[in-house]
Structure 1
Amino acid sequence: METLETLSDKLDTTGDIQSIVRTMKALSAVSIRQYEQAADAVASYAKTIDMGLTAILHDRRAGGLSLPHTGSTDADVAGLIVIGSDRGLCGRYNETVARAAVDCINDRTAVLGVIGARAAARLEAQRHKADRLFLLPGSVAGMTPMVGRVIVEIESWMRERGVETVNVVHNRREGRSRAVPTSSAVLPIASEDLQQLADARWPGPGLPFFRMDRDRLLSWLVRERLFVLLYRALAEALASEHATRLAAMQSAERNIKERREDLTSDYRRKRQETITREMLDVISGFEAVSGSDD
């Protein structure tokens, strides 16, 4: 049977947990906004890269050259990047992205890179061990070097393993809290996208002049486009992770509030019972003393 002291300790513990949950809710809400702003910011850079590609494709066309070959989407050797989570308290987030990744793995998938230890563990449990594991950055500031390391790894796959096609699988925020898995190709640039860029009208009166070797410049622009796609995917994944965690914390807060109300009710009832019992003891003792005096 619970005592007043036990109920009081439980109320204190519940209050401490409630404070932690509120703090985590606030951190997740702030993080969602930061990662969404990062995704919006890189969109402007993406437009700059596309304009650069449009300029060089127009220059190639003026020189009588065809569209460049950036890789084959039907290549026999492909790579897959999966973005998961390193932290918990985000429900089925990693299970969802791991299931989507398994659906994308086929006979062409020669190398598997995973960002996030928990997603890597999920995939390994399904007999898909990561060839390269990356740990997620803890803030927006760590995203750029993180993406840089992934690009270096992809370039290594291309040199050493003959990889031409690279896809990325990650969760994307849908609504306020739902994380929906999505898959997209980051390499090579699809021929229809190249054609669209080549057909795009230049906004100025004349094309920009460049001194760098045309092929080197094209290679650099393709690399920067890869950076933009990976950065955006990482930002969307981190925003969806924190949105999922925020939803979990909101649910936990409701449960804690209900539990605290139950404990408060039990505590008050127990306290009233204790007071009543002590008063009865006092009355019984007084009557006993009064009877003995007679």
Structure 2
Amino acid sequence: MSDKLSDVQARLDSVQDLAAVVGAMRGIAAARAREARARLDGIRTCADTIAQAIGAALTLEQGDSAGTPDLARANGGRIVIVLCAEQGFVGAFNEHLVAAAERQSGARATEYFFVGDRGALIAKARGMRIAWCAPMIAHASEMPGLGDRLTDALYRRLARGGVDRVTMLHATPQATEPIEIVIKTLLPFDFSRFARTAAGQAPLTTLPLPRLLARLAEEYIYTQLCEAVLLSFAAENEARLFAMTSAQHNVRTKLAELTGQYRRLRQEEITAEIIELSAQGVAEPDGHER
């Protein structure tokens, strides 16, 4: 009986340790999701400022025959940027994103830029052509650095030609599954979606209009990439929060089961000890029955 009791006690201690780990992971995931959300307003304000600058620059277009620049060379290829999770315990988060990215290829020659090593591993197993890969951020404060690396890699690839379209896929934060996936077209850059500034004093410029618009478009794409990184990071941590909440429920159920089993075994052990003591009490000191 004591062997069974000690075994249940050991299992109970192990599950209690697991409950502490799950609770800690749940807390970390929630904190990181909040941190990412808190930084979204800043990057969106930056994007709005650049959008206003593009609108102001577009008012100069009538006097410039060069028109808006073409940032991607029309040769039929496509780049698909996929933002996945870096760490585990996120359910089918990566699988959903990789499957959606795979559907983007169609008849085009497609190269994939992956952020998040776990997603890249799944893509390699599926035979997808990965041209560039980088780890997903571990903290929201690392977003600008990843945005720089991703933007630099994208424009280095565009400079070599053979690409006329760039698409980005990422998840958005929500507390339940399945995840919501956003698909954005980065290139060709759609200048028509920016409202032209009302007539007034023309802005002062020192660059030719096509070059100015190209620079502003590149900055705007950078803000879109940074925003997507934050949204994906928040979504990853909310997926982990959801998984840890489910795990916490299962751990609590197991704890209740083991606690009940421990109490039953302990009661049986106490009962056995009482019976043994009672049996000894009815015997004479010399070993004869009364």
Per-residue deviation, 1:173: 2.5
- For the 8 Å contact 1:75–1:165, the answer to whether it is kept is no
Per-residue deviation, 1:87: 0.8
Q: How does 1:275-290 map to 2 (within 5 A)?
A: 275-289=270-284
Per-residue deviation, 1:48: 0.6
- For the 8 Å contact 1:71–1:165, the answer to whether it is kept is no
Letter in 1 for 2:121: A
- For the 8 Å contact 1:167–1:183, the answer to whether it is kept is yes
Per-residue deviation, 1:49: 0.6
- Give a deviation string over 1:107-166, Cα, whole Å, max 9, x none: 323421111111111112211141211111111121111111111111111112432311
SS in 1 for 2:130: coil
| 2:136 is the counterpart of 1:140 | no
Per-residue deviation, 1:289: 3.1
SS in 2 for 1:3: helix
SS in 2 for 1:211: coil
Question: Following TM superposition, where does structure 1 have runs of at least 4 consecutive aligned residues deviating by more than 4 angstroms?
Answer: 71-75, 175-178
Alpha-carbon distance between aligned partners in 2 of 1:135 and 1:196, rounded to the nearest angstrom: 32
Q: How does 1:10-29 map to 2 (within 5 A)?
A: 10-29=11-30
Moved more, 116-125 or 170-179: 170-179
1:200 corresponds to: 196
Per-residue deviation, 1:231: 1.0
Alpha-carbon distance between aligned partners in 1 of 2:14 and 2:135, rounded to the nearest angstrom: 33
Q: 1:74 to 1:215 in 2, by over 3 A?
A: closer
2:187 corresponds to: 187
Q: 1:163 to 1:129 in 2, by over 3 A?
A: closer
Q: TM-score, normalised by structure 1?
A: 0.90
- For the 8 Å contact 1:186–1:230, the answer to whether it is kept is no
2:168 corresponds to: 168
Query: Over aligned residue pairs, what C-alpha RMSD do you find?
Result: 2.1
| 2:27 is the counterpart of 1:32 | no
Q: 1:19 to 1:163 in 2, by over 3 A?
A: same
Higher helix share: 1
Alpha-carbon distance between aligned partners in 2 of 1:55 and 1:201, rounded to the nearest angstrom: 5
Per-residue deviation, 1:255: 0.7
Alpha-carbon distance between aligned partners in 2 of 1:178 and 1:34, rounded to the nearest angstrom: 23
Per-residue deviation, 1:104: 0.5
Letter in 1 for 2:58: L
Q: 1:235 to 1:91 in 2, by over 3 A?
A: same
* Identical amino acids, percent of aligned pairs: 23
- For the 8 Å contact 1:67–1:195, the answer to whether it is kept is no
Q: 1:206 to 1:234 in 2, by over 3 A?
A: same
Q: How does 1:249-268 map to 2 (within 5 A)?
A: 249-268=244-263
1:244 corresponds to: 239
SS in 1 for 2:138: coil
Q: How does 1:66-215 map to 2 (within 5 A)?
A: 67-71=67-71, 75-174=75-174, 178-190=178-190, 194-197=191-194, 199-202=195-198, 205-215=200-210
